[in-house]
Structure 1
Amino acid sequence: MLMNEFNMREKFGLIIHWIGFVLGLTLSGGAALALRGFATVFVLVPLVMILFLIPNTLTWGIRRMIVGGNGFFPWQVLKKNGELPKT
């Protein structure tokens, strides 16, 4: 029973993290398309990065609180000892 609860928490955390990742892509992509003619590169690039990082970081933190240690991007899987596997 405990294993099923852990898997459910892990899946819930992963869904939350993917929602933040997609939201970050949508916000940053929308800002890049909407402001490409108005903003300079020095303004647009940091703005796009910030608009991606804010939702992804917030949902990563929520996932980390629910599940424990995990990678920053939703597709990263940690080993049992909490390290990222070598690619």
Structure 2
Amino acid sequence: MDNEMETVQIPAEKLVDALLHMKQFEHHYATQESVDNLKESVREFKSDTNKRFEKLESKLDRLQWLIVSLSVTLFFKEQILSLFM
């Protein structure tokens, strides 16, 4: 038998491409436990974020009322001062 007929010649570029593309499929496949841990982590993050937004919302409400009360005070400044004099 002729040895040349049994060998396959692959150019170096194609060999490198094949090896590099093969690495793409060697990803870590997540287990159900790691997926559950990730879901729990996302839930905790969402809960924490919601709490922070609620605190921010309450602070903005207080700031809004402060602005309203100061505006009313400035608008009625003369009337308020006349009450104390």
- The interval holding the TM-score normalised by the smaller chain is 0.3 to 0.5
Please tell me whether Structure 1 or Structure 2 has the larger radius of gyration of its CA atoms.
2
Structure having the larger proportion of residues in helix: 2
Q: TM-score, normalised by structure 2?
A: 0.42
Bigger relative contact order (CA 8 A; separation at least 6): 1
Q: TM-score, normalised by structure 1?
A: 0.41
